[in-house]
Amino acid sequence: MKSLRVGLCGVGNVGGAVLKLLKESSDLLEQQGGFSFELIQVGARKGRSAISYDDIDVTTNLMDVANNPDVDIFVELIGGTDFAGELVRAAIKNGKHVITANKALLAVEGNEIFKLARKNNVQIGFEASVAGGTPVIKALREGLVANKVEWFAGILNGTSNYILTEMNVEKTEFSQALLKAQELGLAEADPAMDIDGTDAAQKASILAALAFHVPFNFQAVNYEGIDKVDVEDLRYAEELGYSIKHIAFGRLVDQTVFVSAYPTLVPHEVILSQVGQQMNALEIYAKGIGSTVYYGPGAGPEPTASAVVADLVDIAKGGWQTEPTVMSENVLVSESTIKAPRYFRLMVRNEPGVIAKISAVFANQNISIEALIQHETKDKNTGKTEEVPVVILSGSVSDQVVDRLLQELNEMEEVANCLKQFRIYTKIN
Ligand SMILES: NC(=O)c1ccc[n+]([C@@H]2O[C@H](COP(=O)([O-])OP(=O)(O)OC[C@H]3O[C@@H](n4cnc5c(N)ncnc54)[C@H](OP(=O)(O)O)[C@@H]3O)[C@@H](O)[C@H]2O)c1
């Protein structure tokens, strides 16, 4: 049986689980994968104290692993971009295949890393970088290779999805839901990149490179996070037949690719609206086959380690071509020209004629109003209210037109505040 020698850097959540899998499930891997893997060196800056196996060579200088001439496959699980990038580039230059779960590194430096890998004739495995244990990279790379992908839509950040689910079900505010996610170990101590949308946008840019054959271009991805969503919005959305989800979206129109990640109202009949808690899901629409949907755990040590080890087996089998194929005619551009129906929540003066005036502003921008909610609200003390919320669902509209609409609304003395504006999911095919 062919045996490959593995060097691992980083023994945190994911690295620790990879270490355990390789040490304790080697028989299963040999039976099911057909290869054996020998973990010959681990890089951990805390040294041996970070590792509970005595028979492993541990170094506190992680570059030793990338430079170790006996290592065939280098596994990077430290995260971040600076040192992780240095390690990965060194390993590639030393002729080692590389496996990484690092979406931040690939989203920003993917083109350079894959180019270097091609030059050095080595493979890069990155299944764990998107949707953790759910094999979506493999689906795009292999299972759907006979089809032209036209769009994808996915819930790619488990932390955000958990928080939105908690806010919707328990009616807790964002800050409380985030705290609970942290207590349960579902959110990092610093969850900024999860909740501001960066993490999902990085994953979407990786998917776009594979799905639409464009270079990695994180800069062209437009995104916002779930920190903009209030319990109020979830409640209105439910009333109108929608869930609010953080949706990463990629689309090929002619030869133009648009990629985004936004809090989005998703109709209850769409599968993605039913994906709760910390789960991930990705719907991929390809010409010929139509929609396929992938659902599963998007993070966590064991699911992510499972994807890392699957890449080990793939590379042992000979892998695939070194980089996502680029079709030069396809171009990834900023999303701003794409139109989507919208949800607006405004605070308006509680007086006759206001709704008619607001409707006129929408009409002025040539935007249709598809639904409108204004509930009777009374101040507990006085019995009347100065300002009331109004929720409007509009027809499809571009970002530029939304900007003009909001400017006009904000100039109206009857409108106290345009509080929120979210996209509404529309099925394209
Ligand atoms: N956790 C998940 O569910 C998940 C899912 C998908 C992908 N990923 C990706 O997997 C990678 C690892 O994530 P993780 O959750 O395992 O992170 P983690 O628990 O923070 O572990 C990172 C490990 O790398 C070490 N490390 C970090 N920076 C270092 C540096 N400059 N020099 C030396 N060692 C360094 C840390 O050492 P110390 O212990 O000494 O700090 C720690 O052992 C990241 O790229 C992440 O995006 C994670």
From 315, 317, 320, 324, select the one nearest 96 (Cα to Cα): 315
Are residues 367 and 328 part of one domain?
A: no
* Spatial separation of the C-alpha atoms in residues 292 and 286, rounded to whole Å: 8
Residue bearing the CA closest to ligand 1, atom 34: 45
Residue 95 lies in a domain: yes
Specify the 3-state DSSP secondary structure of 302: helix
Residue-wise pLDDT for 392-429, tens only, equals: 999 999 999 999 999 999 999 988 887 899 999 987 76
Residue 38 lies in a domain: yes
Determine if ligand 1 sits within 6 Å of the CB of residue 163. Answer: no
Residue-wise pLDDT for 63-72, tens only, equals: 999 999 999 9
Which residues form the domain of 47?
A: 3-125
Average pLDDT of span 311-325? 82
Cα 105 to ligand 1 centre (Å): 13
Are residues 147 and 9 part of one domain?
A: no
Determine if ligand 1 sits within 6 Å of the CB of residue 107. Answer: no
Residue-wise pLDDT for 75-85, tens only, equals: 999 999 999 99
Residue 28 lies in a domain: yes
Residue 317 lies in a domain: no
Confidence of residue 386 (pLDDT cuts 50, 70, 90): confident
Residue bearing the CA closest to ligand 1, atom 39: 12
Average pLDDT of span 95-120? 96
Number of domains forming the structure of the chain: 3
What average pLDDT does the chain have?
Answer: 92
- Ligand 1 closest atom vs CA 44: 34
Residue 307 lies in a domain: no
Residue bearing the CA closest to ligand 1, atom 27: 78
Determine if ligand 1 sits within 6 Å of the CB of residue 101. Answer: yes
Which of 91, 125, 159 marks a domain boundary?
125
Cα 92 to ligand 1 centre (Å): 20
E-strand spans in 1-148?
3-9, 36-43, 58-59, 73-76, 97-100, 124-125
Residue in 60, 304, 308 to alter for ligand 1 test, most ligand atoms within 8 A of Cβ:
304
Cα 83 to ligand 1 centre (Å): 12
Residue bearing the CA closest to ligand 1, atom 26: 78
Average pLDDT of span 372-380? 78
Domain containing residue 54: CATH number? 3.40.50.720
Burial class (CB in 10 A: 0-12, 13-18, 19+), 94: middle
Domain containing residue 222: CATH number? 3.30.360.10
* 389 has a pLDDT exceeding 80: yes
Cα 80 to ligand 1 centre (Å): 8
* Spatial separation of the C-alpha atoms in residues 353 and 372, rounded to whole Å: 15
- The strand pair at 3-9 and 73-76 is best described as parallel
pLDDT at 383: 64
pLDDT at 392: 97
Residue 55 lies in a domain: yes
Cα 273 to ligand 1 centre (Å): 31
Q: Are 350 and 388 in contact (CB under 8 A)?
A: yes
* 385 has a pLDDT exceeding 90: no
Which of 102, 125, 148 marks a domain boundary?
125
Determine if ligand 1 sits within 6 Å of the CB of residue 128. Answer: yes
Average pLDDT of span 114-143? 94
DSSP H or E segment with residue 202: helix 198-212
* 384 has a pLDDT exceeding 90: no
pLDDT at 380: 62
Residue-wise pLDDT for 86-97, tens only, equals: 999 999 999 999
Which of 81, 105, 125 marks a domain boundary?
125
Are residues 181 and 158 part of one domain?
A: yes
Average pLDDT of span 195-221? 95
Residue in 77, 98, 108 to alter for ligand 1 test, most ligand atoms within 8 A of Cβ:
77
Determine if ligand 1 sits within 6 Å of the CB of residue 158. Answer: no
- C-alpha angle 113-223-201 in degrees, rounded to nearest 5: 30
Average pLDDT of span 315-321? 82
* 229 has a pLDDT exceeding 70: yes
Burial class (CB in 10 A: 0-12, 13-18, 19+), 382: exposed
Are residues 158 and 53 part of one domain?
A: no
Domain containing residue 358: CATH number? 3.30.70.260
Tokens 């921008």: give the residue. Answer: 365
Q: What is the dihedral of CA 270, 276, 281, 287, to 10 degrees?
A: 0
More confident residue, 276 or 322: 276
Residue bearing the CA closest to ligand 1, atom 42: 12
Are residues 201 and 119 part of one domain?
A: no
Are residues 191 and 328 part of one domain?
A: yes
Are residues 181 and 258 part of one domain?
A: yes
Are residues 184 and 327 part of one domain?
A: yes
Residue 302 lies in a domain: no
Active-site annotation, residues: 203
Cα 104 to ligand 1 centre (Å): 12
Are residues 290 and 267 part of one domain?
A: yes
* Spatial separation of the C-alpha atoms in residues 195 and 240, rounded to whole Å: 25
Cα 230 to ligand 1 centre (Å): 31
Are residues 158 and 78 part of one domain?
A: no
Q: Are 214 and 250 in contact (CB under 8 A)?
A: no
pLDDT at 187: 77
pLDDT at 146: 92
Share of the chain above pLDDT 70, in %: 97
Determine if ligand 1 sits within 6 Å of the CB of residue 11. Answer: yes
pTM of the model: 0.94
pLDDT at 160: 96
* 1 has a pLDDT exceeding 90: no
Average pLDDT of span 283-304? 93
Q: What is the dihedral of CA 344, 164, 259, 417, to 10 degrees?
A: 20
Residue 303 lies in a domain: no
Are residues 281 and 253 part of one domain?
A: yes
* Spatial separation of the C-alpha atoms in residues 141 and 158, rounded to whole Å: 23
Residue-wise pLDDT for 231-241, tens only, equals: 999 999 999 99
pLDDT at 327: 76
Are residues 199 and 86 part of one domain?
A: no
